[in-house]
Structure 1
Amino acid sequence: MIKQLTTETFAKEIESGVTLVDFGATWCPPCQMMEPIVEELAQEFEGRASVTKVDVDQSPELAQLFNVRSIPTLVLFKDGKPVDATLGVQPKKVLAEKISSQL
């Protein structure tokens, strides 16, 4: 299950462990293409890493804080700090390797 993060919940959610945050929007076709991949990652890494989403229309201040200029942007956090980021549609394997490397 992918958690939807807001400005209020973001800091607490990423403060410890490994968290992948998918910055996107419901109207964005590439974001929609990433949806099943992100869902699979959430299931695959359940209990070991968190996979979350931020809707940039609902939380524009988070997008601005992490310099998200195009969507989808996927940012990997470890213990509250960004350690990696990718832009655009990514293969599941690439994202899984990035998550695994931080565990």
Structure 2
Amino acid sequence: MGSKAQDVNEATWEDVVLDSPTPVLVDFWAEWCGPCKMVAPIVNEIADEYDGKLRVVKVDADANPELVTTYNVMGIPSLLLFKDGAVIDRVTGYKPKAQILSKFAPHI
């Protein structure tokens, strides 16, 4: 069955991301972004593999400009790792799965 990244927006942000008891990986993406489409299956694989230890969510950057500004998202895709309501690490642009995990795994 597996889990899939959940969509969040400015309205659900605080409940889903900031108040989460587990770390949250946030994928900032946009419909027109080619590299975002390339990283999406990797993000879903991470959601499956870390189910229970990591919450994985997606934010449509075009639909949620306040979140993009608040968290200084300069390029997409941007993967931000939140723990206890704060950004503790980030990966910008398409990266292979191993590279993404090597950056985030120590925090999970």
Which TM bucket (shorter chain)?
Answer: over 0.9
Partner residue of 1:95?
100
TM-score (norm 2): 0.89
Native 8 Å contact 1:18 1:99 kept in 2: no
Native 8 Å contact 2:6 2:58 kept in 1: yes
Partner residue of 2:47?
42
Q: Which amino acid aligns with 1:9?
A: T
The gaps in structure 1 that reach 5 residues or longer are none
- Computed over aligned residues only, the root mean square deviation of the Cα atoms, in angstroms, reads 1.1
Distance 1:60 1:101 in 2: 30
Which 4+ residue blocks in structure 1 deviate beyond 4 angstroms?
none
TM-score (norm 1): 0.93
Q: Which amino acid aligns with 1:7?
A: E
Partner residue of 2:38?
33
Is it true that 1:62 corresponds to 2:40 in the alignment? Answer: no
Partner residue of 2:12?
9
| Identity value in percent | 40
Partner residue of 2:85?
80
